[in-house]
Structure 1
């Protein structure tokens, strides 16, 4: 089997795209879709075994990928990684700033170290990667950047550190779009809602029932798939989005709209899209 993208074959032929956090979840899925559309994918992550495993998957499927170990929170590491990718692939055309992470806690339970760690991961790291990609390559050739944020509209209770960082990334997206547009560089963001992804398995067991109940709060009465996020990312990187700049697309099934006091009836006529041939159900959502 191969990835079943809704976009035309060969769309990114000859292009090099960085995908941070490419070793799992949405990043892994996006890397597979980009590779299936002809891109040379540079997988960036902190753990070599994860990005190497996805590289092997992509190559097994007939795509081109490279694996790069990098802590996006460290300026020198990011600069050196971007330089190495450009040298290896002969250029750079786009970046998917997907890497991120957080832990559940009320604000009163977050100390300074925890706060700063999450902000560095979800905001500073994305800024560093985008800046280096722009200054080393995209400012000369043009290109596109897509930043992955989160469903933090109206606050993010229980993960205030991540919500603050993601809101900052949306503002950074808008600023970069304005400052870098003259170079032919478009910068946009996508805000995934509750997505059935491997990242859900990283949360404590105590959150299992809460996670399994999330779909009831979505008007479509289901969680999203990784492929539904990847499809939007790939579109924003494509020529079809050539006049979209500085925007943030919510992909949450309408969960960020309306009010919790409005009753949600049972849903029908709603089938998820999943073109990812290597997708798997998170353990927390399985019936085992």
Structure 2
């Protein structure tokens, strides 16, 4: 691998680690559009570049989620009953949705990514405050919500934060704790998603070297190394920034990522 791409993967991992800890988004929302453009620049098969970005991002999120969740846990920022309730549905929904993603071309996936991210950003910016008496649902309700979060997360290769954070805030979980809980939920999403993309890309022709299914391992290792280091920095910021500021940052990042993803697939 050219050293310039290795340095690029390291830089991308450092940046996504900070945002993973800060916003509980796992980092996939940043990695997918950037990796799509990087893979295109390296001459990867256009038919597979988005799928490779999705699978590689999912695999790289695993250590990022571990570092981010641990940092939030040490600050009392993880609602573990919610994590336990969401996890079974998340695992099932994520793994199943990777099979759907494998049959879609890059353009539909990119459009879905952009529309989804923009809708989440709009909700976080102008969404009405939740009713004061609203609380988290029981195990069955959390399992159903987890399936939906996992399914959407697999299609856009995010750690689930773009759905988990708004859902928890809607249930009156404080923003900082919603971010921390989302970081923990991102671990089963990433693990199931990475496994699914490996299975669905297994044995396909036209994939670049050093891949396992739809996962490019040199990129995973480089990004994971840096994100594991920088995720705790973002977690510290999440517990210091005002709620309104955190929501604005979350929304702006989502919109920028949506635009970047569409540009990378439709133009670049």
Q: What is the TM-score normalised by the length of structure 2? A: 0.29
**Which of the two has higher C-alpha Rg?**
1
More helix by share: 2
Higher relative contact order (CA 8 A, sep 6+): 2
More strand by share: 1
Q: What is the TM-score normalised by the length of structure 1? A: 0.28
